Chains A and B, each alone.
Chain A
């Protein structure tokens, strides 16, 4: 077997130009795959990081309260009791926070805009401190009532600075208009689409704006020790909360604000809980990831077809050139399977060397891009949820890309290799050419 590898290796070395050309093509595709996978994984990680900080936990216990059939509010009433039960039922829980949820008009002296609002207790939000990059002000300011955190783009549009005031205007559950003047205590760096239409205020400020009781929350955001446990926790909570007498809505994998139309059409009134996960809450933007993955798939497929034709062609040429050698080896006692292996090894070796070079180049490029913190245009930042290009490189995905392309090149070589192995020794030995 070692000898077959040696023959394969030396044959690649003998036909250096051909090997370099095809190996270079394989390396290019591998590098491209590593970069695109890095971009896709980077986006996913950015999404997970920003989404699970700004708008969702790993698992959310939220819901709607309806005074009348057509008037739903995104609230959970009596949340302390529910939170207590969750702590008992979910040993996988790392920490939980309660957030207020709402939709309001933000008015400054020069401009106004509609935004979603999160009511937070800044002292119990360790995640926010880690993820938000402040451009001005301090997060601790949110501990004071009637304060607000804006994102850079919003502050620019409203033309406000830290210390200045904006007016928060919203409709209460009973249809009355209410306003609160809030002081800007912090301005954070933009975090893509999720930060475009979200602001943070203290939970009590939100409650007073909507005239909610103190045991009312918008959602309970649960952060698990291991994100892999999300499906199990979600299923368990559905059972235990139902058993505790709560009415739990059927699972609908959409963000809460996309459910209003459906919920308002339903005839029930009172409180219903809705248990979702982080992917449900950002499903409206994960299409970008799906689109990128699909594009990567199509691109790699097309390139693999081109490489496949190249490999087949190269092996055909190699087999034509070495037909007499095949005949000789068959004559001196080499079995057909070994002839097949000899050519398969050649393709596999070419694939391995090509992907190794490509993966190394892709890795270096990814690390260089990350180190340079390349800023992306605003329109791109919205989709990748980051101001800078983040190419996530994981050894497993690089090895996976290498294995995938090597397996493809090896599989493609099977056809010509099989035909080489089927050659009759006498025909091959007397081949002229």
Chain B
């Protein structure tokens, strides 16, 4: 699904700064970043290590708070929300895919995917089962529903993580280096899966990556350097820049 100017912005970031204090030293991770992401976009955040990609995703994902500026997610100013409201926003609006999959080891594949639905308490058992199995079908793991994460390959675990991120039908999915721990073929499969879900369901995806191949699938690439917003370019332009040796 391609964004249009008329679509509402799901993420709006205005002049955001984030500082980390390490002892007596204040380290700026983001310095006045502005960003607008519209519903249905498939956006990649690129930049070298330490450029602020993960920090930016953390702020959008409401798992961290900005030092300055305004972060609006789904129309809500995150600074104005209480801890409980932020948790609810994460539960109902945002899905997360982590570099290291971060599945609950003692739960089965089915239970891992079902978990956010149990937290939501909106669906009954039969509805939950239907939703989970439908997603596991989509990610090709229906036959592995009873397996534990340690019985799966890295690619399969990341597919479970994708299913878990999408099970609540969030408006926004954040993925921090989702292919970093996978081989190139599996990584490519995961990106294809995310793209497919983006196009089918209209879910907005924002993912960080170093990989030019992965980046090439994005509608747009937001480039960061030293905690600053560099530019927002197309995937084709980003590939050219990468080929030329830039980030």
Interface residues of A (CB under 8 A from B): 3, 6-7, 10-11, 13-14, 324-325, 327-336, 338, 424-426, 429
Contact = CB atoms under 8 A, between A and B. Distances in A.
A333 B102 contact: no
Main secondary structure of the interface of B (DSSP, over half): helix
Give 8 closest A-B pairs by Cβ, nearest first. A333-B91, A10-B106, A328-B102, A425-B63, A426-B64, A426-B63, A333-B90, A333-B119
Contacts of A10: 106-107
Interface in B6-65: 58, 61, 63-64
A7 B107 CA distance: 7
B230 interface: no
Contact of A426 (B58, B88, B104): B58
B118 interface: yes
Nearest to A325: B104
B164 interface: yes
Contacts of B115: 3, 329, 332
A324 B102 contact: yes
A332 B90 contact: yes
Given A3-B111, A328-B98, A429-B98, A334 B104 contact: no
Contacts of B61: 331
Contact of B96 (A7, A14, A325, A332): A332
Given A3-B115, A328-B98, A426-B64, A335 B87 contact: yes
B87 A330 contact: yes
Nearest to B98: A328
B105 interface: yes
A424 B59 CA distance: 13
Contacts of A329: 104, 115
B132 to A, nearest CB: 13
Contacts of B234: none
A7 B64 contact: no
A335 B89 CA distance: 11
Interface residues of B, number: 29
A325 B105 CA distance: 9
A386 to B, nearest CB: 51
A362 B110 CA distance: 41
A11 B148 CA distance: 13
Main secondary structure of the interface of A (DSSP, over half): helix
B200 interface: no
A328 B90 CA distance: 11
A219 B210 CA distance: 99
Given A14-B106, A325-B104, A328-B98, A333 B92 contact: yes
B98 A11 contact: no
Nearest to B114: A3
Contact of A424 (B64, B106, B111, B164): B64
Nearest to B161: A328
Contacts of A330: 63, 87
B137 interface: no
B2 interface: no
Interface in B99-128: 100, 102, 104-107, 111, 114-116, 118-120
Interface of B: 58, 61, 63-64, 83-84, 87-88, 90-92, 95-96, 98, 100, 102, 104-107, 111, 114-116, 118-120, 164, 168
B162 to A, nearest CB: 13
Question: Max chain B CB contacts within 10 Å: which of A13, A14, A330, A429?
Answer: A429
Nearest to B92: A333
A331 B98 CA distance: 11
A332 B117 CA distance: 10
Contacts of B106: 6-7, 10-11, 13-14
A299 B162 CA distance: 53
A429 B63 contact: yes
A425 B119 CA distance: 16
Contacts of A6: 106-107, 111
A330 B91 CA distance: 9
Contacts of B114: 3
Question: Max chain A CB contacts within 10 Å: which of B91, B102, B107?
Answer: B102
Given A3-B115, A328-B102, A332-B164, 17 more contacts: A3-B107, A3-B114, A7-B106, A10-B107, A13-B106, A325-B105, A328-B98, A329-B104, A331-B63, A331-B96, A333-B91, A333-B119, A334-B91, A338-B119, A424-B63, A425-B63, A425-B64
9 contacts: A325-B104, A327-B63, A331-B61, A331-B63, A333-B90, A333-B168, A335-B119, A338-B119, A426-B58
B88 A333 contact: yes
Nearest to A425: B63
A335 B118 CA distance: 12
Nearest to B118: A3
A332 B91 contact: yes
Contacts of B64: 424-426
Contacts of B84: 335
Contacts of A327: 63, 102
Contact of B116 (A333, A336, A425, A426): A333
A377 B114 CA distance: 64
A328 B149 CA distance: 15
A426 B58 CA distance: 7
A325 B118 contact: no
A6 B61 CA distance: 28
Nearest to A332: B116
A333 B168 CA distance: 11
Nearest to B121: A1
A343 B87 CA distance: 19
B115 to A, nearest CB: 6
A325 B63 CA distance: 14
Contacts of B120: 333
Contacts of B92: 333
Nearest to B95: A332
Nearest to B168: A333
A332 B105 CA distance: 16
A328 B61 CA distance: 12
A7 B61 CA distance: 25
A348 B22 CA distance: 38
A3 B107 CA distance: 9
Contact of A429 (B83, B88, B102, B107): B102
